Amino acid sequence: AEVFMPSIQLDTVDYHYASPYTEVFSALSLQIDTDWRTGLVGRNGRGKTTLLQLVRGTLHPAHGTVVVPVPTMFFPVPVVDSLMTVREVVRSAVAPFTAWEQRMERLLSNPDETSIAEYGDLLERYQLAGGYDIDARIEREFEAIGLDAAMLDRSWNSLSGGEATRAAIVPLFLRAGVFPLIDEPTNHLDIEGRRMLGNYLKAKNGFIVASHDRAFLDACVDHVISINRDDVRTVRGNYSTWRADMDRE
């Protein structure tokens, strides 16, 4: 049986920046299935990041509605402390596992009724978030994205720009039930890094990635939304399919 995947719906959305007045979208209507691997393309200033922020809910339309049926997670993920180990940065971007572990330990050392009740609640949250196998899952994703698991014990600030980019993509696919919004991930990646990220994303389902990199988009997307000068259109296929469609006109 087909699993029904909910859609992100934008309905007659107007969006502009106030000063200086710049219209970005006018009466934009879009449907984006949450199991698509969607590439978002368009010249700088056309509104790729604005569209991601509207879906994320950090920007709100002047008119129209944006309905997002799933929680989203945005790349780049914030790094609270670059002296933390890579493992700790990735873990904490998924859920506050370490804080939960420390709290549960304290509650167990002083087991009155209230503590036991709180421990039970925390344990449930920890399990639901995948706390028991989070380290194994991180290592698996690192391997899939072409990073060495030994890197997990280094400090975050020891990573190169390309390593940090790939490491910061991983939490988006470790937190259950979120829809990743990925803004220009190839900026710090060399050709090999882009190839690895493309292969990694090709094996995933359901995300939007904004990028200018054609080869990267060809490797990993199955739909393209292009923000053109006069319209916004959705094409099924990869960047080359979209390009061929545009060239035919």
Count CB neighbours of 59 within 10 A. 16
pLDDT in tens, 150-204: 999 999 999 999 999 999 999 999 998 899 999 999 999 999 999 999 999 999 9
What is the C-alpha separation between 169 and 187, in angstroms, rounded? Answer: 13
**pLDDT on residue 99:** 95
pLDDT in tens, 1-51: 556 678 999 999 999 998 888 899 999 999 999 999 999 999 998 999 999
**pLDDT on residue 47:** 94
H/E element holding 29? strand 22-33
Asked if 195 and 218 count as a contact pair (C-beta separation under 8 A), the reply is no
Enter the pTM of the model.
Answer: 0.92
Alpha-helix runs per DSSP H in 146-231: 161-169, 191-202, 214-220
Mean pLDDT of 96-106: 95
Torsion angle (degrees, nearest 10) of CA 116, 117, 123, 129: -160
What is the C-alpha separation between 116 and 124, in angstroms, rounded? Answer: 12
**pLDDT on residue 3:** 60
**pLDDT on residue 115:** 93
Mean pLDDT of 127-143: 96
**pLDDT on residue 176:** 87
Q: Are strands 232-236 and 72-75 parallel, antiparallel or unpaired?
A: unpaired
Residue identified by tokens 């080359």 is 240
**pLDDT on residue 247:** 86
What is the C-alpha separation between 218 and 238, in angstroms, rounded? Answer: 5
Asked if 25 and 13 count as a contact pair (C-beta separation under 8 A), the reply is yes
pLDDT in tens, 105-121: 999 998 899 999 999 99
Please, which pLDDT band fits residue 137 given cuts at 50, 70 and 90? very high
What is the C-alpha separation between 64 and 13, in angstroms, rounded? Answer: 4
pLDDT in tens, 65-80: 999 999 999 998 889 8
**pLDDT on residue 4:** 66
**pLDDT on residue 246:** 85
Please, which pLDDT band fits residue 249 given cuts at 50, 70 and 90? confident
Nearest-5° angle of CA 210, CA 213, CA 218? 90
Mean pLDDT of 80-109: 95
Mean pLDDT of 217-239: 95
What is the C-alpha separation between 181 and 80, in angstroms, rounded? Answer: 20
**pLDDT on residue 63:** 96
C-alpha 147, offset from chain centre: 18
* CA-derived radius of gyration, the chain: 20
